[in-house]
């Protein structure tokens, strides 16, 4: 897996915003030549702005994401190592040595046969 410091996400986000803007401008009720010249004027501006924004996002979030990638797996393993014995202890209290399944239902005749007061 290639290292990605969030640059692809932010680039995709910005690219989506630019595409949405272009589609919005194209749908506007203006003559084609006017729309094309407006797009040419603004495309360089938005491209530069998108690249700067992407660079800022990568610069700010890159070290944080790298730190998270380095620290989370060992922390999870540490927590698992501490919790597993507790889970085993709880399981051993609830699951005794007799793991047979008790009979769940008795028929009415079995209940009256076992209880002398109900049979009279």
Among left, alpha and beta (phi > 0; psi -120 to 50; other), residue 58 is alpha
Which stretch of 3-7, 14-18, 63-67 has the lowest confidence by average pLDDT? 3-7
Whole-number average pLDDT of the chain: 75
Res. 1: pLDDT tops 60:
no
Confidence of residue 37 (pLDDT cuts 50, 70, 90): confident
Tens digits of per-residue pLDDT, 64-110? 888 888 888 888 999 999 999 988 888 888 876 555 555 555 555 55
Res 117: pLDDT: 56
Q: Which residue has the higher pLDDT, 25 or 2?
A: 25
| DSSP state string for 28-84 | SSS-HHHHHHHHHHHHHHHHHHHHHHHHHHHHHHHHHHHHHHHHHHHHHHHHHHHHH
Quick one: which of 70, 20, 74 has its CA closest to 46? 20
Where is mean pLDDT largest: 11-15, 17-21, 63-67, 83-87? 83-87
Q: What distance in Å separates the CA atoms of residue 8 and residue 82, rounded to the nearest whole number?
A: 37
* 43-51: Cβ within 8 A, 24+ apart: 46/18, 46/21, 47/18, 50/11, 50/14, 50/15, 50/17, 50/18
Q: What distance in Å separates the CA atoms of residue 28 and residue 50, rounded to the nearest whole number?
A: 23
Q: Where in the chain are the domains? A: 7-91
């Amino acid at each position: 897996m290639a290292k990605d410091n969030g640059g692809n996400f932010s680039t995709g986000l910005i690219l989506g915003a630019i595409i949405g803007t272009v589609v919005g401008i194209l749908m506007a009720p203006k003559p084609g030549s006017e729309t094309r010249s407006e797009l040419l004027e603004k495309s360089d501006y938005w491209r530069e702005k998108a690249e700067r924004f992407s660079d800022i996002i990568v610069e700010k979030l890159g070290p944080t994401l790298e730190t998270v990638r380095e620290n989370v797996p060992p922390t999870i393993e540490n927590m698992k190592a501490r919790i597993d014995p507790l889970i085993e202890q709880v399981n051993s209290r609830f699951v005794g040595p007799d793991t047979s399944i008790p009979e769940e239902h008795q028929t009415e005749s079995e209940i009256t046969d076992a209880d002398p007061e109900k049979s009279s």
